[in-house]
Amino acid sequence: MTKTREWIVAYQKEHPQAKTSWLIEAASLSRNAWYYRAKQTEEPVEMKAKIEAVLLESPYYGYRRVTKELHHQGEVVNHKRIYKIMGSYHLLQQRKSRKPKTTNSNHTYKVYANEVKYLGEVLPYQVWVADITYIPIGTTWAYLALIMDQAGKKIVGWHLDTSLHRSICIEAFNLALRENKAPQYHHSDRGRQYCSNEYIALLKQNHITPSMADVGMSVDNPYAESLNRSIKVEEVYLNAYESFDEAYESIKKYIEVYNSRRLHSSLGYVSPLTFEANYQLIVSKI
């Protein structure tokens, strides 16, 4: 098969006037086999362009999310095919892992029990999870405080600062409260920012029950930890911020895309805002 095909290609180079149909017949090669092979050769190039268009908007997407996004665009293709094409063109995401220490649990503030541990299935607007992660900027660091709705995956509040002072968490919380309904629970680690009198007072003023993970137990705050990893892999590791303003604007844009466009497998491969809209529609009919 390969030799026959190579013979036809070589012959056509020497005799460009020769019709492909004649050569296929002369070689006893079926037309279907010939044209199917040609289509296979063209398809990866065409699909590569479509994959790159998805990655241009969401460069952190792996092959599964790329596949789902292509499905949303009307493409009929399975994830194994996308994985093969992305692998061939070196488009598969290379993940990094690094965990800085941003939690200081060595303080005299009151700590609270893990109130969400036995809740079972959590509904939207029921639990907010919060955490702080580091952001490298040039030769120094900034810190990003995040608050996310556990069930809906929407980032409801955030604040970037060069200090780990409790105000970073307060700013993120105030933003979350301005644009969203207060949840029943607020879950975090036992860091001094979240245990501070000012922060706890904010929670109680809004009738929110504080909930905290055990010391050093990131598994007790898995949703916030997962969000931190996503931001590192999908945004921070793909950039080399040279200034605070650059980092702020880039992270702001990422969060906007995260909420409005990023597909989540746990949400049925829709974005947090789409999930929220669907949930509100269902609730309104009850």
Strands 209-212 and 140-149: unpaired
| Average pLDDT, integer, range 178-183 | 94
Q: What is the pLDDT of residues 53-78, one digit of tens each?
A: 999 888 888 888 999 998 898 888 88
The strand pairing partners of 210, in sequence order, are 186
Instruction: Report the largest interatomic distance among the alpha carbons of the chain, rounded to a whole angstrom.
Output: 89
Average pLDDT over residues 239-250: 91
Rg (CA), the chain: 26
Instruction: Give this prediction's pTM.
Output: 0.68
Q: Are strands 127-137 and 140-149 parallel, antiparallel or unpaired?
A: antiparallel
Q: From the CB of residue 1, how many other CB atoms can be counted at a distance below 10 Å?
A: 9
pLDDT number for residue 3: 44
Q: Range with the lowest mean pLDDT among 6-20, 92-106, 115-129, 235-249?
A: 92-106
Give pLDDT, residue 175. Answer: 97
* 271 touches 262 (CB < 8 A): yes
Q: How many degrees, rounded to 5, is the angle at CA 107 between CA 102 and CA 112?
A: 90
Residue ranges of the alpha helices (H) in 132-196? 167-179, 192-195
CA 90 to chain centre: 20
Q: Please state, in angstroms and as integers, the Cα–Cα distance from residue 25 to each residue in 11, 21, 29, 50, following that order.
A: 14, 6, 6, 35
Q: What is the pLDDT of residue 223?
A: 93
Q: Residue 218 — very low, low, confident or very high, per pLDDT cuts 50/70/90?
A: low
Determine the pLDDT at residue 210: 97
**For the ranges 47-51, 113-117, 216-220, which has the lowest average pLDDT?**
216-220
Helix (H) or strand (E) holding 144: strand 140-149
CA distance 65 to 169: 31
Q: pLDDT band for position 99 (50/70/90)?
A: very low
